[in-house]
């Protein structure tokens, strides 16, 4: 039966990624006063597609291996608008805005999931 094969579609994975993003931003806000802390965020589109957003490809035999520096989990460092003396790249206003954005997106994904569930329920009841 097609209906229950993949009932939640992309939204199941999307919810996990949205949640991961909120975690990262909350870590940024928590470290707003930590010297040398670098704010991080994730690239939603490429994570959902399962790609590495910025691979350092060794296209020539003379290229060095980047080793552990290579970022495989889609988490990127935020480029700050202004630099700060203590090397911290968290800009609290930016992070607050991003957190609000991430929370709204999380709710949107929840809404999609809810409508899927209620749709399946309705069809099972045969109303």
DSSP E strands in 1-127: the ranges are 40-42, 75-77
Specify the DSSP class assigned to residue 68. G
- Residues of 48-57 as b/e, b for ≥16 C-beta within 10 angstroms? eeeeebeeee
| Nearest-angstrom CA–CA distance, 6 and 24 | 29
Contact between 99 and another protein by CB under 8 A: the answer reads yes
Residue with smaller CB distance to another protein, 14 or 31: 31
Contact between 118 and another protein by CB under 8 A: the answer reads yes
Residues 9-38 close enough to bind another protein by CB under 8 A: 19, 22-24, 26-27, 29-35, 37
Q: Facing residues of 77 across strands?
A: 40
Binds another protein by CB under 8 A, chosen from 3, 49, 117, 124: 117
The contact set with another protein (CB under 8 A) reads: 19, 22-24, 26-27, 29-35, 37, 92, 96, 99-100, 103, 106-107, 110, 113-115, 117-118, 121
């Amino acid at each position: 039966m097609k209906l229950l094969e993949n009932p939640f579609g992309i939204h199941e994975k999307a919810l996990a990624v949205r949640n991961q993003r909120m975690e990262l931003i909350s870590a940024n806000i928590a470290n707003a006063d930590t010297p040398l802390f670098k704010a991080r965020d994730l690239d939603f589109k490429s994570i959902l597609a399962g790609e590495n957003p910025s691979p350092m490809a060794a296209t020539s035999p003379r290229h060095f291996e980047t080793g552990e520096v290579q970022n495989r989990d889609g988490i990127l460092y935020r480029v700050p608008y202004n630099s700060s003396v203590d090397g911290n790249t968290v800009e609290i206003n930016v992070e607050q805005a991003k957190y609000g954005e991430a929370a709204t997106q999380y709710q949107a994904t929840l809404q999609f999931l809810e409508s899927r569930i209620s749709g399946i329920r309705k069809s099972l009841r045969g109303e």
